[in-house]
Amino acid sequence: MVRIAVVDRDACQPRKCGHECVKYCPVNRSGKVVWIDEQIKKAVISEALCIGCGICVHKCPFQAITIVNLPDELERDCVHRYGPSGFKLYRLPMLRKGRIIGVLGRNALGKTTMAKILAGELVPNLCNPEGKASPEEVIKQFRGTELQTYFSELYSKKLRTVHKIQYIELIPMYLKGTVADVVKKAGINEQLLQRFGLDKLLDRKVEELSGGELQKLAIAAALSKEADVYIFDEPATHLDIVERVKVADAVREHTANKYVLVVEHDLTVLDFLADNIVIVYGKPGAYGIVSHPAGAREAINEYLAGYISSENMRIRDRPIKFESRPPERKTGKAARLVEWEDLFVDLGGFQLEVAASYIAKGEVVGIVGPNGIGKTTFLKVLVGEVKPAKGSVNATVKISYKPQYIRDIAVKNQETPVSLWLAQQAGDYSDNPIWPDLNSGFNLAPLLERRMGELSGGELQRVVVAAALLKKADLYVLDEPMAYLDVEQRITVARTIRRIIEESEVAALVVEHDIAMIDYMSNAVMPFVGEPGRRGYSPGPTDMRTGMNMFLKWAEASFRRDVKSGRPRLNKPGSALDREQKEKGELYYT
């Protein structure tokens, strides 16, 4: 066995804890196992001298230290390490020309590092103690594999790469001017402009674009470049369900016979797009291991089962299963928490109609529909921010609202510790009976001493969703709570939301574009259809079968059920099963 010791550079704060890890290490009397590097002001651990006693792990008040034993043979596959006692990445996915390779795994396991290495932006150091390796050494490391040929061509400039980055909200920092200026500079072709609806945004400034519009602009720019390697890091973020399918179709069409890597957390999109998938497992922030490739269906099912057969590795204690039959709605008057009459909202250039309906106690209502169709407008009517021109909401309930865009929260509270911000939002949250579930499920403990401005997108999302759920309310309104979260976190959030709502006899409205997660947590659905940006219509919450059939008929799509896991799988347009289901009018449950 080889022992690796990792120190989370963000969490380690030796000045605050008084060097607890150094003081209590029993081996320090004979040799320096743990010390504080004065250059980086963080703890460093000698793996050669570490005996794995675990004392420093338990003494660290910030949970910054991880010590793990791994098989000796795995060390030969070490690809990259971020400095002494830093994160380690083991193996890389084998890219194959003409095959789309998907990457599935938790955040902080090295997926973005892997994308940078394969894009040629980062030369892996092969975990060299000196911290660097030459391109020749990298090529030699992968001799006898397809990656040897790949890196040989990459480093000799025979391969042109395009990398669509993960954090598209950074684009306005580097690109100024209008969309038309970017289109001209990037050489985006007319067909992609129309396909993604960008032709209507040409006069808009880049900094005025929404997250979804920036995402489509970035993907269109990447696909318009003539390259040999295309790498897409989370291409579905901020996109609605319809746009995700359009993007997946465009990626497949424009990258035929090329090397393609797609990192994605939406199981439906990844299943639809990828030919093969690798699973990245390990301990977030400590190490990540890339599994051997498998077919898309098999890999996702193994991930949900929590056991990777090719690695003989269990990555989760319990499997994740989806309901293959639609749940029934509560219909009794006593069960109704919120009711409303026929609503009509007129915002000038946009009109919204919502039929009279209700939300029941213990019900999680998933809201589905494209962007610009009125979903957020309806939520604002419920919380009283928008007054309808016709109809009214019959409710005296207390509402907790989690907004769609949360980055402003971090900007306004940059220096505020997470623990203090949670207390400002939800009072003495540690006494709340749901706090233990949220704390363990959302992994909040390591974040409590951090400042709000230091959090990543996924960390901030978990904190803001937790704050919304910790507030005492009758109706929880959550707008895109899954954005920036990895699959494991999405499942935890979905499971936690459903359990809290059902046990507390309250209700939740959840706007979400990840169909698999809507399916996993909802017992009712509220579809929105119409003409985005101009008019929207919703029949109100319905049972899952009725609502999904209505929405998918409008979207001209159909889903089948996976026999093994029960999860929804998107049918290829025009396939035999797609045609058969559309003829029957059963587009979601089969």
- pLDDT tens, 82-116? 988 889 999 999 999 999 999 999 988 999 899 99
Per-residue confidence (pLDDT) for residue 54, from 0 to 100: 84
Given a contact cutoff of 8 angstroms between Cβ atoms, the answer to whether 437 and 498 are in contact is no
| Residue-wise pLDDT tens digits, 176-212 | 889 999 899 889 988 999 999 898 889 989 888 888 8
Question: What does the block give as tokens for 452?
Answer: 């709000």
For the chain, give the mean pLDDT. 89
Q: Which of 162, 163, 167 is nearest to 237 (CA)?
A: 167
pLDDT of 496 > 90? The answer is: no
pLDDT of 331 > 70? The answer is: no
Integer Cα distance of 145 and 150 in angstroms: 9
For the sheet with 393-394, list strands across it. 357-360, 336-340, 393-394
Per the model's pLDDT, the better-predicted residue between 493 and 2 turns out to be: 493
Integer Cα distance of 348 and 504 in angstroms: 39
pLDDT of 438 > 70? The answer is: yes
Options 3.40.390.30, 3.40.50.300, 3.40.50.2300, 3.10.20.740; CATH of 88-160+227-314: 3.40.50.300
Per-residue confidence (pLDDT) for residue 332, from 0 to 100: 65
Per-residue confidence (pLDDT) for residue 292, from 0 to 100: 94
Integer Cα distance of 261 and 93 in angstroms: 9
Question: What does the block give as tokens for 242?
Answer: 């319809």
Q: Tell me which of 8-22, 245-259, 345-359, 525-539 is least confident.
A: 8-22
pLDDT of 586 > 90? The answer is: yes
Integer Cα distance of 13 and 450 in angstroms: 10
| Residue-wise pLDDT tens digits, 255-288 | 999 999 999 999 999 999 999 999 999 988 889 9
pTM: 0.86
Residues of the chain with CATH 3.30.70.20: 2-70
Options 1.10.10.10, 3.40.50.620, 3.40.50.1100, 3.40.50.300; CATH of 333-559: 3.40.50.300
- List CB contacts of 514: < 8 A, sequence separation 6 or more: 265, 266, 267, 268, 482, 490
Per-residue confidence (pLDDT) for residue 85, from 0 to 100: 82
- List CB contacts of 41: < 8 A, sequence separation 6 or more: 14, 15
pLDDT band at 434 (very low <50, low <70, confident <90, very high): confident
Q: Quick check: helix, strand or coil at residue 85?
A: coil
- What Å distances lie between residue 52 and 1, 46, 154, 227, 289, CA to CA? 12, 11, 40, 47, 21
Burial (CB count within 10 angstroms: exposed 0-12, middle 13-18, buried 19+), residue 551:
buried
Integer Cα distance of 461 and 466 in angstroms: 8
Q: Which of 486, 456, 464, 415 is nearest to 10 (CA)?
A: 456
Question: 3-state SS of the chain: helix, strand, coil percent to 5?
Answer: 35, 20, 40
pLDDT of 72 > 80? The answer is: no
Question: What does the block give as tokens for 322?
Answer: 């989806």
Given a contact cutoff of 8 angstroms between Cβ atoms, the answer to whether 368 and 555 are in contact is no
pLDDT of 330 > 70? The answer is: no
Integer Cα distance of 61 and 12 in angstroms: 9
pLDDT band at 160 (very low <50, low <70, confident <90, very high): very high
| Residue-wise pLDDT tens digits, 122-143 | 999 999 877 789 999 999 999 9
Per-residue confidence (pLDDT) for residue 258, from 0 to 100: 95
Going 123 to 36 to 62 to 417, the CA torsion angle's sign is negative
Range 137-150 average pLDDT: 93
| Residue-wise pLDDT tens digits, 340-395 | 999 999 998 899 999 999 999 999 999 999 888 998 899 888 878 899 999 988 86
Q: What percent of the chain stands above pLDDT 70?
A: 98
Pure H helices in 427-456: 435-441
Q: Which of 524, 549, 547 is nearest to 360 (CA)?
A: 524
Residues of the chain with CATH 3.40.50.300: 88-160+227-314, 333-559
Range 330-344 average pLDDT: 82
Which residues are registered as beta bridge partners of 365? 509, 524
Per-residue confidence (pLDDT) for residue 476, from 0 to 100: 93
Range 543-561 average pLDDT: 94
pLDDT of 73 > 70? The answer is: no
pLDDT of 435 > 80? The answer is: yes
Options 3.30.1960.10, 3.30.70.20, 1.10.1060.10, 3.40.50.280; CATH of 2-70: 3.30.70.20
Given a contact cutoff of 8 angstroms between Cβ atoms, the answer to whether 457 and 167 are in contact is yes
Per the model's pLDDT, the better-predicted residue between 3 and 105 turns out to be: 105
Integer Cα distance of 462 and 406 in angstroms: 11
CA-based Rg of the chain, rounded to a whole angstrom? 25
Question: What does the block give as tokens for 118?
Answer: 């394969």
Range 470-498 average pLDDT: 89
Given a contact cutoff of 8 angstroms between Cβ atoms, the answer to whether 108 and 28 are in contact is no
Range 227-235 average pLDDT: 94
Per-residue confidence (pLDDT) for residue 108, from 0 to 100: 87
Tell me the residue type at 419.
Answer: S
